Amino acid sequence: MNKTMNYLRRYWVLYVMLILPLAFFIIFRYIPMGYIQIAFKKYSIVQSPWEMAWADHNGFEYFIQAFSNRDFLYALRNTLMLNFLDLLFGFPAPIILALILNELAFKRFKRFTQTVVYLPHFLSWVIIAGMALQLFAPTSGLVNIMLQRMGFEPIPFLNDPVYWVITYVLLGIWQSVGWNTIIYLAAIAGINPELYEAASVDGAGRFRKIWHVTLPGLRPTIIVLLILSLGQILSSEFDRPYALSNKLVTDVSNVISIFVYNYGIRGLQFSLSTAVGLFQSVVCVIFLFAANALAKKTGERGIW
Amino acid sequence: MGLRKGLTILTLCLAFVLVMAACTKDNNAEPTPNTQTPASNNDASGSGGTDSRLEALGLDANLRFKETRKITVEIYDRGNDGGTPPEDNFYTDYIKEGLLRDHNIEVEFVPVPRWTEVEVINNLLAANQAPDISVTYSYPTIQAYANMGGVLDLNPYLEEYKDLLPDLWDLLTDSNIYWNQDPHTGTIWAIEARLAVLNRINTFVREDWLQKLGLEAPTTLQEFEDMLIAFRDNASLLLGDEADKMIPFSTSFDIGWRADHLLTSFVPNDITDKDIYVYGFDDRHFLLPNYKEGVRVLNKWYNEGLIWKDFSLYPAGDPTEDNLMKAGYVGAFIHNWDYPYRNGEDSIHANLQRLVGPDAAFVAVEPFPNDAGVYKKFLSGPIDRKIFFPATNDEPLASLLYLNWISKLENRLFLQFGEEGVTHEKLEDGSYKTLAATGEKIMNSPANIDYTLTINGLDLGDPDLTVKSIANGYAGVDKRYVEIAHRITTNQGRIGKNVNVGEIKSEAGQGQALKEKRDAILNRAVVAPPDQFDQIYDSGMEDYLRSGGQAIIDERRAAWEAVYGDKTMLD
């Protein structure tokens, strides 16, 4: 008892300081959860969520509606496809870039390169979409004008679904690769230099050192970031597909967030869009847990 | 020690503030059910009872409230460069002063961005903060909120106060006031403003190119196509060094609007009112019979290099296409009836004359007869914005008096033309000529349509004067062009009729999604290789119908038959 009192007397300030973040989470993260019930109720503007009538089918009317809606299924497919491609190509890119940057001997050039590659992170997707139009439009885009001058056919970067997906993924890598590299470079900086020296003594070359020292050193970081990315597999950005999209590629570019925007905000189906949002979150949480469990099974620490 | 104490106090204060904020947060969201119903009408029915009735309403004999009432009114913000704030300027002062003087009503304007009006009014409604007099072009939005109990039924108020609103009735007439009345329940969720001029769209071609190539203005589809081919094949003659920039025909992602006269010329001339209604859910006429054949023409043109290749890439509001027109690369296009002449010094017309030369100009032509040789145009009914009162409006009478005041001829003419000698002058023939205004008397939109809520377009009470005044309204444009455009745009038009069969439930929430789908189908069909055109169009249409389109068609047909029986034409 005395021990506890002593402890509290010493550290009470820390607990008081915790109030602020706790209040933040309670007010802005937990209280709004009460509104999740909109997904199970018939939305009415003049009633509070507690008073609204339950939806049909034991409250699951809007989930059934979503899953029987073709546009939702397309959006689900597109979200999974684009996120999977992002993961496949976008996830390794910063690791590779970090390894390359780490090997650069000329320090000033390394810093310069690093700055150049992380600057796009600060551009909004609306700006990037505008730049993409200037560069990649079939007749007036700079790249296609140059291709045509050199005697090639213009490439439909933005107006053919397959090329659009490629452009989408590449632009995503371009925008974020430098920024994501920072964390890997930090991890590399934390690797014990003695390991490299030891490897040199053993006669390891540059690639051997990368393979046997740097990469294993990066492994925990990679795993944690991979788990976090897997937790995002079904969440969908809005700005990026919306800004880059056009009417010729809606078959592949309409993702869940755009579906929610069109049906929910513009179509006033608040219950439907809440249901879709809830579904999205639940799947993401499942993925997060699964990835974490898998990581632990393979002997990694996971994220908790 | 001092620092730690300070930090602690700060933390505690912040936490306290946050908790307080959380406690007060929900209170505002409490619904305010509208329990107010119109005062009983008994007083007015007896002879000589009018005064006591006005008394009961809080009005004096001049319809002035004895106690000042306050209302809020929605106003579109068009984000005009160099304009004044839409909620506070010379014209809003005119309205505010007028209403305070005539009715003792204080008016506050609430700006809503024009291009995202539906989203913003949604948000305001959802937050119970919509202006007392709200306005939108989207009836489904009003219907959706009405179903949730968020909109005031205007029917009892209109009936009760009809005799107090003579100017509103004069301008809108029964037709627009009862346009949306539900045939089953009698509710009126919104009244329709008057669309004074039914002008919609036109087909424009470069007049100077026609002359250079010795061509007449095209009067058939074939002639139009030959003209486009002539533009393409004579690019070097017409554009010199810039021949590779030639765009014989330009359009945008919104094919349904930007090729409407061509596409609807394929619809059979004898289409019935019933079919127009049943297939008329989409305002671009997408579902009307034989529409596909019109799209096939565009597909052919696209594959022959007659259509701007990049049309589908630019989003709404992007100026790229306009700039191409201004620079003189575009030979023909379909757009709003006066599109090249709008915007004064920055109009396509003015830019073209500056950049290309004084002969360069777009002129309206009429090249698309239908199967009966008629240049038919599908025109909307004489309706415009939908004016509604949200359930939070507790001043319905003051709001209606506002609408009446704004409908009075002298008031709306002042708003449309401003001060004589400053923003307009009267010509000898009695017509008005708009003058370029400067400073705070610049209008936020042509003829101030945002302030004349109950009417869109000019109506001087005399059709002849109205047309002349419209033509006078384009500074720096030869009157001839405007008159041609004005004549053609409604020539042989078929005016939309009011089909009022009650709510169509399957339309709820579908508008935006189906609109996106329609645009995607049309864009893909236009750029398809010719041998894949049918497959792409048909599968797109099938998807459209299965995604809700067919349900709407079926419900509309059933609703029509329930109300009109076997009739296929309305009176």
Of A182-196, B448-462, B502-516, where does mean pLDDT reach its minimum?
B502-516
| pLDDT tens track for B416-469 | 988 888 888 888 888 888 887 777 888 878 788 899 999 998 888 888 888 888
- Cβ-Cβ contacts under 8 Å, A248 against chain B: 312-313, 520, 523-524, 527
Residue numbers in B near A47 (CB within 8 A): 31
Mean pLDDT for B347-367 is: 95
Q: Is the dihedral of CA B152, B153, B156, B158 positive or negative?
A: positive
- Residue A99, both tokens: 């390894």
Chain B partners of A19 at a C-beta cutoff of 8 Å? 11-12, 15
**Selected residue of A20, A268, A272 to mutate for chain B interface (largest B Cβ count, 10 A):** A268
pLDDT of residue B114: 87
CA distance B125 to B140: 14
Q: Which among B7, B15, B523 has CB closest to A19? A: B15
Q: Are B144 and B509 in contact (CB under 8 A)?
A: yes
pTM of the model: 0.83
Where residue B351 falls among pLDDT bands split at 50, 70, 90? Answer: very high
**Residue count of chain B:** 571
Q: What is the mean pLDDT of residues B134-145?
A: 89
- The helix (H) or strand (E) run that includes residue B563 is helix B550-564
Instruction: Please say if the pLDDT value at position B318 is more than 70.
Output: yes
- Segment A241-260 shows an average pLDDT of 92
pLDDT recorded at residue B273: 95
Report the residue of chain A nearest B18, measured CA to CA. A23
A144-159 pLDDT per residue, tens: 999 989 999 889 999 8
Query: Does B523 contact A138 at a Cβ distance shorter than 8 Å?
Result: no
Interchain CB distance below 8 Å, A48 and B30:
yes
Distance from first CA to last CA of chain A, Å, rounded? 31
> How many angstroms separate the CA of residue B473 from the nearest CA in chain A?
35
Distances (CA, A) of B392 to A42, A158, B88, B180: 21, 46, 24, 21
Which structure tokens are listed for A15? 């607990």
Taking contacts as CB-CB distances below 8 angstroms, the residues of chain A near B520 are 247-248, 250-251
- pLDDT classification of B49: cutoffs 50, 70, 90: low
- pLDDT, position B193: 96
Q: What is the share, in percent, of chain B residues with pLDDT greater than 70?
A: 91
Q: Across B124-254, where does the E strand assignment appear? A: 134-136, 191-195, 201-206, 247-250
Report helix, strand or coil for B441.
helix
* pLDDT average, residue stretch A179-202: 92
Q: Do A133 and B313 touch (CB under 8 A)?
A: yes
Contacts of A31 in chain B (CB under 8 A): 22
B475 has pLDDT over 80: no
Residue B7 binned pLDDT confidence (cut-offs 50, 70, 90) = low
Structure tokens at A112: 């310069």
Report the DSSP beta bridge partners of residue B65.
B59
Query: Which position has the higher pLDDT, B31 or B378?
Result: B378
Instruction: With beta carbons under 8 A apart, name residues in chain A contacting B317.
Output: none
Count CB neighbours of A96 within 10 A: 12
Chain A residues with CB-CB distance to B503 below 8 A: none
Distance CA B455, CA B107 (A): 19
Residue of chain A with shortest Cα separation from B540: A251
- Confidence at residue B9, expressed as pLDDT on a 0 to 100 scale: 56
Res B34 pLDDT > 50: no
pLDDT at residue number B25: 38
Strand order in the sheet with B383-388: B134-136, B383-388, B191-195, B455-456
Q: What is the pLDDT of residue B528?
A: 95
Comparing B140-154, B187-201, B425-439, the range with the smallest average pLDDT is: B425-439
The answer to whether the CB atoms of A48 and B7 lie below 8 A apart is no
Contact residues of A toward B, CB < 8 A: 13, 16-17, 19-20, 23-24, 26-27, 31, 43-48, 69-71, 133, 137-140, 158-159, 246-248, 250-251, 254, 262-263, 265-270, 272
Confidence of residue B560 (pLDDT cuts 50, 70, 90): very high
Geometric angle at alpha carbon B357, from B355 and B363, rounded to 5°:
100
pLDDT, tens digit, for every residue of A113-142?
989 999 999 999 999 999 999 999 988 889
Shortest CA gap B528–chain A (Å): 10
Number of DSSP helices (H) and strands (E) in chain B, helices first: 24, 14
The answer to whether B95 and B406 are in contact (CB under 8 A) is yes
Tokens standing for residue A253 = 């570019």
Q: Residue B141: which of A47, A262, A268 has the nearest Cβ? A: A268
If one compares B236 and B512, the residue with the highest pLDDT of the two is B236
Phi, psi angles (nearest 5°) of residue B531: -75, -10
> Nearest residue on chain A to B28, judged by CA atoms?
A48
**How many angstroms separate the CA atoms of A180 and A173, rounded?**
10
**Closest CA–CA distance from residue B244 to any residue of chain A (Å):** 10
Separation in Å, CA of A56 to nearest CA in chain B: 17
pLDDT in tens, B368-410: 999 999 999 999 899 999 999 999 999 999 999 999 999 999 9
Q: Is the pLDDT of residue B44 over 70?
A: no
Mean pLDDT score of chain B, rounded to an integer?
A: 88
Q: Chain A residues with CB inside 8 Å of B7's CB?
A: 13, 17
The reply to whether residue A267 touches residue B122, judged by beta carbons under 8 angstroms, is: no
Residue in A247, A252, A269 to test binding to B, most B beta-carbons within 10 Å: A247
B524–chain A nearest CA distance, Å: 6
Model confidence band, residue B6 (pLDDT cutoffs 50, 70, 90): low
Q: How far is CA B74 from CA A247, A266, B124, B349, B456, in A?
A: 32, 19, 11, 33, 16
Q: Each residue of B400-415: b (16+ CB within 10 Å) or e?
A: bbbbbbbbbeebbbbb
Average pLDDT, rounded, for chain A:
90
Determine the average pLDDT of the residues in B461-478.
84
Q: Can you tell me the mean pLDDT for B31-48?
A: 44
Residue to test with chain B: of A68, A158, A266, most B Cβ within 10 A? A266
CA dist B418 and A79 (Å) reads: 53
State which H helix or E strand residue B379 sits in. strand B377-379
Q: Which of B49, B226, B26 is nearest to B128 (CA)?
A: B26
The span from the CA of A117 to the CA of A188, in Å, is 18
- B245 vs chain A: nearest CA distance in angstroms? 9
Count CB neighbours of B250 within 10 A.
Answer: 21
Select the residue from B23, B123, B253, B313 to test the A interface by mutation, using most A Cβ atoms within 10 A: B313
pLDDT of A103 reads 87
8 A C-beta contact, residue A270 and residue B144? no
Min Cα–Cα distance to chain A from B284, Å: 16
- Indicate the pLDDT class of residue B8, thresholds 50, 70 and 90: low
Q: How far is A139 from chain B (nearest CA, A)?
A: 7
C-alpha triplet B276, B282, B284: angle, nearest 5°:
90
Residues near B93 by beta carbon (within 8 Å), at least 6 away in sequence: none
- Give the DSSP letter string of B401-418: HHHHHHHSHHHHHHHHH-
Bridge partner list, B73 = B109, B133
Q: A20 contacts in B (CB within 8 Å)? A: 11, 14-15, 18
Distance from CA of B311 to the nearest CA of A (A): 10
Q: Per-residue confidence at B29, pLDDT binned at 50, 70, 90?
A: very low
**Average of pLDDT values for B521-550?**
95
Q: Residue B71: is its pLDDT beyond 50? A: yes
Give yes or no for a contact between B44 and B52, defined as CB atoms under 8 angstroms apart: no
Lowest mean pLDDT among A231-240, B94-103, B238-247: A231-240
Closest approach of A124 to chain B, Cα-based (Å): 17
pLDDT at residue B502, as a whole number = 86
Q: Which of A125, A119, A244, A128 is nearest to A177 (CA)?
A: A119
Top pLDDT among B231 and B11 is at B231
**Tens-digit pLDDT profile for residues B274-283:** 999 999 988 8
Q: Confidence band (pLDDT; 50, 70, 90) for B17?
A: very low
Select the more confidently predicted residue: A198 or B31.
A198
Inter-chain residue contact A19 with B128, CB threshold 8 Å: no
Which chain B residues have a beta carbon less than 8 Å from that of A250? 516-517, 520
Of A46, A247, A262, the CB nearest to B150: A46
Residue predicted with more confidence, B2 or B247: B247
Asked if residues A199 and A190 have their Cβ atoms less than 8 Å apart, the reply is: no
Q: What is the ipTM of this complex?
A: 0.83
